[in-house]
Amino acid sequence: MTSYRQPGLVLTDRHFTVPLDHADPSGERISLYGREVVSSSRSGADLPWLVYLEGGPGFGARRFPGKQAWLGRAVQEFRVLLLDQRGTGLSSPANRQTLPLRGGPEEQARYLSHFRADSIVRDCEAVRAQLTGGARWTVLGQSFGGFCATQYLSTAPEGLKAVLITGGLPSLDARAEDVYRAAYPRIQRKNDAHYARYPQDVERARRIAEHLASRRTVLPGGYVLTPEAFQSLGIQLGTGDGSHQLHYLLENAFVGAADGDELSDAFRQNVLAALSYAAHPLYAVLHEAIYAQGQAPTAWAAERVRSEFPQFDAEKALAGDGPLLFTGESVHPWHFEADPALRPLREAAEILAARTDWPALYDAERLAANEVPVAAAVYHDDMYVDTGHSLATARAIRGLRTWVTDEYEHDGVRASGSRVLDRLLALVRDEV
């Protein structure tokens, strides 16, 4: 273990090994990384543990420089573990560079099938046994981390002292297509709000899309920017400052050059940073698999359902006089053609999309008998997680208390400083 300091904090690098397949504990093992964080004034104290599960899938735990966002509140009373979920961060990586070591697409898909919430929860239990000496811990799950926390309540509640969920109460039984069928109307509302705030962006977005439709545009590193890929910048609209960030990106799109206006280098670089999956390929590869349960394949649900909402068709939008609508948190087959970080994973992704034997993730009966204190922040009209689905699940989990708010978007636990975490802790302790 290596320990080091930031202002007011002591951080310790921790490494663990766990089975790739927890059903085969004697088989292959992979590594996990977690960063322990404790207040420097309480580093020697016997503190309860809180494990943080990041959103995603496919993102490592957030790297905080000091007591930012909710972390400063957490270290007032907890020893915090920022866990890099399997395949992310400093845990054994799963990406275009490492997955060929598994073999061909079939072997890669088989390997990746062990990277959903059920395996992550089993990892947490293995880590908890080593860190806490068997004592229960508190889980804070953001977005997909909340999906994992719900799975935790379904399969290993004996390890939990309390569960705090922010923007991440999943439907217990919705199929991937149900998730996206509910999502597209929310995404349109976010578009409408953005264009109402920044009406000048209507023409800017159309002009960029028309430019992309008329000529092949390749970003640095080989990312092919099509009108559909440009639309996917709308994923930013679900965060507190996302609309503003999108506006500032669009305003600097063109520069006058020798052959006329062209997309500026600054715009190209900023778009690449926003769209590339190089740092989190599992987000794309597993995004629909996190909803899969039972025999129905996901079969590129977001792409199939998109055809039910023709207002999102870029070609039709450009042929008419309406605004170009941005899309949101959805992954499509063309992502695996546009993005060089995903191209080598296309066949494995196709195999996962066709799989028909995904195990169930949630146990409705066990959740109905839940005894673990649970509180969830549900963000009104959350672009990423359907509010109706979340509230139905809240009613299905015995004793769960909700805080429904429109003060924040999906990133409220980060944007609010300590307020969201404070509220959830008060709810699980019956202090409000």
> pLDDT tens, 75-102?
999 999 999 999 999 999 999 999 999 9
Bond into 57 cis (ω within 30) = yes
Q: Which comes out higher in pLDDT, residue 89 or 328?
A: 89
pLDDT value of position 259: 81
pLDDT value of position 322: 85
Marked catalytic residue, from 114, 211, 335, 410: 410
> pLDDT tens, 101-157?
999 999 999 999 999 999 999 999 999 999 999 999 999 999 999 999 999 999 999
Find, among 284, 294, 290, the residue nearest to 235 by Cα: 284
Structural tokens at position 28: 């292959």
User: What are the Cα distances from residue 52, in Å, to 259, 385, 390, 401?
Assistant: 52, 19, 20, 19
The total number of residues written for the chain in this structure? 432
| Chain centre to alpha carbon of residue 224 | 23
Residues 6 or more apart from 138 whose CB is under 8 A from it?
A: 48, 49, 50, 51, 78, 160, 161, 162, 163, 164
> pLDDT tens, 287-314?
999 999 988 999 999 999 999 999 999 9
pLDDT value of position 285: 98
Whether pTM > 0.85 for this model: the answer is yes
Marked catalytic residue, from 259, 321, 357, 430: 357
Say whether pLDDT at 174 is over 90: yes
Say whether pLDDT at 258 is over 90: no
Find, among 52, 13, 19, 16, the residue nearest to 31 by Cα: 16
Active site residue 332: no
Say whether pLDDT at 341 is over 90: yes
Active site residue 357: yes
Active site residue 22: no
Mean pLDDT score, 373-379: 98
Marked catalytic residue, from 91, 113, 119, 143: 143
Residues 6 or more apart from 192 whose CB is under 8 A from it?
A: none
User: What are the Cα distances from residue 190, in Å, to 178, 181, 187?
Assistant: 19, 15, 5
pLDDT value of position 294: 87
Residue 111: phi and psi, rounded to 5, are -60, -45
Strand order in the sheet with 160-166: 2-6, 9-19, 29-39, 79-84, 49-53, 137-142, 160-166, 374-379, 401-405
What separation, in Å, do the N-terminal and C-terminal C-alpha atoms of the chain show?
Answer: 40
> pLDDT tens, 262-290?
999 999 999 999 999 999 999 999 999 99
Domains of the chain: 2-173+362-428 (3.40.50.1820), 176-354 (no CATH)
Please report the DSSP string for 376-414 in residue order. EEEETT-SSS-HHHHHHHHHHSTT-EEEEESSS-TTHHH
- Average pLDDT over the chain, rounded to an integer: 96
Find, among 14, 10, 6, 8, the residue nearest to 65 by Cα: 6
